[in-house]
Chains A and B, each alone.
Chain A
């Protein structure tokens, strides 16, 4: 019989090894899944993980890595702060949408004026949109003790309806011949989040993601606030004893993650997506949850995990077109990754022992 035995303290080695082990296990089981779907598992795995980086069309795919990775990392960094403190914002998708709507709305309000300050204003507005959306669950939790998990998630559905309403109404392109969707911001220079270096996929969102990683790293390792965040997650009572104000922490963590999700939405809508439309959101807010955990809630880990997850997105699309692998298989693949990670995580805190059967 297998027995778990608590380690006197968390294992350093397993902290780093578990994400790798989870990826390997996911590849094995995912490969079996692909085989069951009638695809050659080795080819499928290679298509997903190898082709975007090293095939002859890699010059096209590599920039996509940054484009897809940036919002994932931005959102996941924000989420990880809350998750560390035991504050569960799972409505980043909604905050992402609201950031896009508010940010794009501010940009479109200036149309067709050209000015250098329009884009920075849009970034601020995008952060504000995400922030205010996250402050709803934060405020309700602080004031009434309402469960933030459910509220933040319900607000995703509300945001999706608002997005539909905006695409069909207030923000609809007056010259769009009645089609839903706003003006394309790519055609509006002052509001366009253009590539900074052509052909690299590098846009302001990527820069913001890198800044967020560095910021989070310093915060968690060097600053009292980061210490309090970690302390609250590890031992809430000890945190109160240390003098942490739980309400303030909830407001900060939810607010920060909302603002980061909001700017991620703004960078997306003003760049890669181009316009506010009904199907603007593609689930980055949820995938970022996987990214945050896969990166073990550590800023550098999240950066790597974001890159890996972006790879599965792009590789998945290639596998879809080349091998006819269903899109859902990739979604499942990503879910599996989180599953395996949570499973093997037990190794960090526990030793596995084979023991003779005994009375528990």
Chain B
């Protein structure tokens, strides 16, 4: 490390009702891999947006190599040598790789030249990519390569990576880290944002920890235990979910060679999925995003009907039934997307309680709604699941992510399902709410329900699952007992390195 690249000094940014960043200061050295660690909602995204020119700070300054640095727009940041790999990809599905990369560059060369440079760089860094493929057809890992190569083509001084490993298998993570270490050795500084402590310990030179918008500590990750970092990040001792250890009972749900086409243009079809889930069991289904998770949930919820025999619920064929009929029989689901899928953003919590609760909770009579009963059901969810909101009359979109997720999970759990299927139950949720949600799933299984938890968070799956399987390109791996599985084995179940290779530099 030769000197300081970027200095942040007293950055503050407030939005109405919330201070996203309060007086944040730290330094990133040339070629340093610097971790920015914090929970969801700690203000990491806002901070990064300020560095990348998407948001202007209310007060505070930044300097780069001693010069004032105040990008008014992303292109100014790019010109100053800052590049960013987004968490929610900033890619265009219908365009090809080269076009996507050109859009992220200031002065892109001609398409033909660009394509050959993409090939060259992608091979140098072990990130194989065909410049003429349509981005919508790529896997999540490949899409990330597009973003990384887009950054590398601009010879950045600072590369910002926002939660890059959430879309990768463990093997792919190792290869990515190799690439990042090489970049760092070549003098590129990396600002690495994550909440995964082991990764940070494996990769980063220094870490800055954010909580509720403020810097609460710095550390050298290699010399700090994961536990200490976690406590700095969360601010209190974490409640670890407990297992009551109920008995595994009879098979409640069975899939027989389930094959479904995806309704989405760039979706993944399910191919020949068979499995059994028993009473009292939690089956964890891992896999990188976009490998058929949404489709599996849709097939189970009844949004994507199939032939009757492919889905059997307690001996009854339900594959051709719609969502309402399946709910009546005890198969409940909670999709990944909270706003717009699991809940209607502009509708009140009462109306959102009716959304799935009408049948099992008796909220309707011959088609006429019982609003009084619906209100008390919503109030019960709010109370039992500790949903923070002024009242059930408030719109779903006014709730924070964690609170709305508690409402959604609570709505299904309180309907006493025989089988509950959840997709990404704690995605984007703060640690305390996540722990509550996991506990409620464990309790539900302990009471005799069968639970399927689809998630990309392997730690979560290892914590709560009895059995584990992984989705890879629409196929389900073998189902294996979760206990004793190694990270390597899990990675291979998820599809291994997907053809990535270690950088050739």
Contact = CB atoms under 8 A, between A and B. Distances in A.
A–B contact with Cβ pairs below 8 Å: the answer is yes
Contact of B323 (A5, A225, A234, A241): A241
Contacts of A237: 337, 340-341
Interface residues of B, number: 39
A138 B251 CA distance: 43
B225 interface: no
A245 to B, nearest CB: 7
A242 B72 contact: no
Given A8-B398, A241-B335, A234 B356 contact: no
Interface in A314-352: none
B56 A359 contact: yes
Contacts of B303: 240-241
A1 B342 CA distance: 36
B354 A227 contact: yes
A35 interface: no
Contact of B356 (A8, A223, A242, A245): A242
B228 interface: no
Contacts of B324: 242-243
Contact of A231 (B16, B337, B355): B355
A238 B395 contact: no
A358 B339 CA distance: 28
A49 B480 CA distance: 77
Interface stretch (B91-99, B361-369, B481-489): B361-369
A224 interface: yes
B271 interface: no
A102 B176 CA distance: 71
Given A224-B368, A359-B73, A234 B346 contact: yes
A241 B369 CA distance: 18
Contacts of B337: 237
B340 A238 contact: yes
Nearest to B55: A359
Contacts of A222: 368-369
Contacts of A238: 340-344, 355
A223 to B, nearest CB: 6
A199 interface: no
B162 interface: no
B31 interface: no
A244 to B, nearest CB: 9
B12 interface: no
Interface in B344-397: 344-347, 351, 354-356, 358, 364, 367-369, 394-395, 397
A241 B341 contact: yes
Given A5-B16, A8-B397, A359 B368 contact: no
A271 B395 CA distance: 46
A223 B367 CA distance: 6
A225 B368 CA distance: 9
B418 to A, nearest CB: 18
A8 B73 contact: no
A198 interface: no
B322 A245 contact: yes
A235 interface: yes
B301 interface: yes
A358 B322 CA distance: 49
Nearest to A359: B56
A241 B341 CA distance: 7
B356 A241 contact: yes
A5 B15 CA distance: 10
A234 B345 CA distance: 8
Contact of B397 (A9, A223, A230, A358): A9
Contacts of A169: none
Given A238-B340, A238-B355, A239-B344, 19 more contacts: A222-B368, A223-B369, A224-B364, A224-B367, A225-B367, A235-B340, A235-B344, A235-B345, A237-B337, A238-B344, A241-B355, A241-B356, A242-B324, A243-B323, A243-B324, A243-B327, A245-B322, A359-B54, A359-B73
Closest 9 CB pairs of A and B: A9-B395, A8-B398, A243-B324, A243-B323, A235-B344, A359-B56, A237-B341, A234-B344, A238-B344
10 contacts: A9-B397, A225-B367, A235-B341, A235-B345, A241-B335, A241-B355, A242-B323, A243-B327, A245-B322, A359-B73
